[in-house]
Structure 1
Amino acid sequence: MGGGGGGEGASGGPELSTDNVKGIVLALLSSGFIGASFIIKKKGLRRAAVASGVRAGVGGYSYLMEPLWWVGMITMIVGEVANFVAYAFAPAVLVTPLGALSIIVSAVLAHFILNERLHALGVLGCVMCIAGSVVIVIHAPQEQEITSVREIWNMATQPAFLLYVASVIVVVFVLVFYFSPLYGQSNVLIYTAICSLMGSLSVMSVKALGTSLKLTFEGTNQLIYPETWFFMLVVATCVLTQMNYLNKALDTFNTAIVSPIYYVMFTTLTILASVIMFKDWSGQSPGSIISGICGLIVVLSGTILLHVTKDYERIPQSRSVYAPLSPSLTTRLNGELLKHVDDEKTSDEEKALRRREMY
């Protein structure tokens, strides 16, 4: 299993185990599907909002009747399934950063389909994401061999990880019940933070569940253990919460803003959770760990560059040109401004739908 080539990887060598290669291929395929799903779902959300007059960002659920949204949802599910299997083969510190490809796919498709322009700095951001991902792959740790879901349960119940879980739950409750009603429509960080925090827990549970199913298919039945079903329940709860708030974020803010911020927060929190729970860096040389961190920083910088570039393009020139240069200022931009700019570039498709309603 994950033991093949383990010693080479632990010493920082470039060779990858067979399981790591499988995980990489699945993660790349997953990112392609998920990146495309952002655009398809956004188109579906726009259609639903025009048809019903109620946006998902303010509590509408008419998108559930929109076929295009379901196409995007199915595309995302396919990507998530590939991602799910990838976590069964490779460590989270390898699989998660490769999600940068979804940002590239999303940005490129948004350029051609949603008229959210991608220029030179955006292209540089894409190149940085790819370069950082290559560094992460080269210096990735090997997947540790696990023989039972109870081994994962012991990792999940260690004090350090329980403290992390408790912190996430408290923060999510505060965001959902206090900050979301007040600032959800004006601050992109609220919805994306909820998605990212829950996402870090869902990845840990997905990895546990995926490993359990992998062992089961290999002949060691893990479905007899209640821990397997508990992880399945956690996955369902976290994913449903993520989807709900991701829909709100996509409908309220520009795709070019939501995608990079969500990726940066989700990746950082997931790697933190994985390092605490699975101790992915245990046994690796300091050089490999530092190289992996540097690769991650390059990827995150690339996504931020994409975010800043796209945000700049969406702000009217009469506004202060200095606002987009600082991520902290950018994320505080008034939601009404962002929605106003989006509405100014109403697509021909939306105009046609409105004309159809008049008759």
Structure 2
Amino acid sequence: MYSANLTGFGLAVASSAFIGSSFIIKKKGLQKAGASGTRASSGGYGYLRQPLWWIGMVTMIVGEFANFVAYIYAPAVLVTPLGALSIIVSAVLAHFILKEKLKKLGVLGCLLCIVGSVVIVLHAPREHDLNSVDEIWALATQPAFLLYTASAVAITLVLVLYCEPRYGRTNIMVYIGVCSIFGSLTVMSIKAIGIAIKLTLEGSNQAANFQTWVFVMVSVTCIITQLNYLNKALDTFNTAVVSPIYYAMFTSLTILASAIMFKVF
């Protein structure tokens, strides 16, 4: 277990470096696209023709893949908080490349995120051993987690349909809220897929279970939604502000979702 947690720790650290860098690269791509067409915050998709944005996407994919593998080896409550390192990478690069100055209060906020993450990692509980996707499905369909999922979807719909048209460009919590809420569901689905892959490689094929593909579809839907609203947030607000707030909300909701689904309080 210690070796598995160490492997997950190393992969999570590498993931943070890639993801933190991707924020900056994507931001540069969004700026270039916005200078010659409709901005992402206004519903434009010109950034899809920007090579720089795609470089940022590839960097993020590499980071997310490392994060995905980390979830196979270590509990979500250990892996997710390590995303605090991406804040440091993003803030430092934003300072030098994007000329976005992080003030004293922002620096203090980043430090508090890191200190809190260290405390969580040091006290990360051990997860129960799971031997099939059916066991994960049973955890995902328990009343408490179904209530969390229903609440998450309902709040997201309110943010998208009511809050975004009115407050999207002035209140960062609208875009970040959608990203964070769906992000917590993404992590739970990714964790399930990771366990399914691990069990399959060990000789217990999980691809035949329809539950595995339900988790895959949920992951794809949530990831696409996250990317769309993260692009809007980056295009509208300062990267040095987006990164810490997104990290704090995403981590908090992921820990809550993990505690409810996997019962790791």
For the Cα contact (< 8 Å) 1:185–1:252, is it kept in 2? yes
The alpha carbon displacement at 1:279 in A equals 0.7
- Structure 2 gap segments, 5+ residues each: none
Q: How does 1:1-359 map to 2 (within 5 A)?
A: 4=1, 17-52=2-37, 54-118=38-102, 122-281=106-265
For the Cα contact (< 8 Å) 1:213–1:222, is it kept in 2? yes
The alpha carbon displacement at 1:141 in A equals 1.2
For the Cα contact (< 8 Å) 2:77–2:121, is it kept in 1? no
For the Cα contact (< 8 Å) 1:150–1:227, is it kept in 2? yes
Distance 1:250 1:105 in 2: 16
Distance 1:120 1:185 in 2: 25
Task: Write 1 or 2 for the structure with the bigger share of helix.
Answer: 2
Q: TM-score, normalised by structure 1?
A: 0.71
The alpha carbon displacement at 1:128 in A equals 3.8
Q: TM-score, normalised by structure 2?
A: 0.96
The alpha carbon displacement at 1:117 in A equals 2.0
Distance 1:117 1:185 in 2: 21
For the Cα contact (< 8 Å) 2:30–2:40, is it kept in 1? yes
For the Cα contact (< 8 Å) 1:89–1:143, is it kept in 2? no
The alpha carbon displacement at 1:65 in A equals 0.2
The alpha carbon displacement at 1:125 in A equals 4.4
Alignment CA distance shift 1:81-1:251 (3 Å): same
Alignment CA distance shift 1:173-1:119 (3 Å): closer
User: What RMSD in Å do the two structures reach over aligned CA positions?
Assistant: 1.4
For the Cα contact (< 8 Å) 1:20–1:142, is it kept in 2? no
Distance 1:130 1:93 in 2: 14
Identity %: 65
Kindly provide the amino acid, as one letter, of the partner of residue 193 in structure 2. Answer: L
161-170 or 113-122, larger mean C-alpha shift: 113-122
Deviations 1:183-242 (A, max 9, x none): 111111111101111111111000001110111111111101000011000000000000
Alignment CA distance shift 1:249-1:119 (3 Å): closer
Deviations 1:281-335 (A, max 9, x none): 2xxxxxxxxxxxxxxxxxxxxxxxxxxxxxxxxxxxxxxxxxxxxxxxxxxxxxx
Kindly provide the amino acid, as one letter, of the partner of residue 161 in structure 1. Answer: F
Deviations 1:21-69 (A, max 9, x none): 11111111111100000000000000111122x1110011000000000
Distance 1:196 1:39 in 2: 19
Distance 2:242 2:115 in 1: 22
The alpha carbon displacement at 1:124 in A equals 4.6
Give the greater-gyration-radius structure (CA). 1
- Structure 1 gap segments, 5+ residues each: 5-16, 282-359
The alpha carbon displacement at 1:120 in A equals 5.2
Distance 1:122 1:133 in 2: 17
Alignment CA distance shift 1:262-1:103 (3 Å): same
For the Cα contact (< 8 Å) 2:168–2:175, is it kept in 1? yes
Distance 2:113 2:165 in 1: 34
The alpha carbon displacement at 1:126 in A equals 4.4
Matched position secondary structure for 2:36: helix
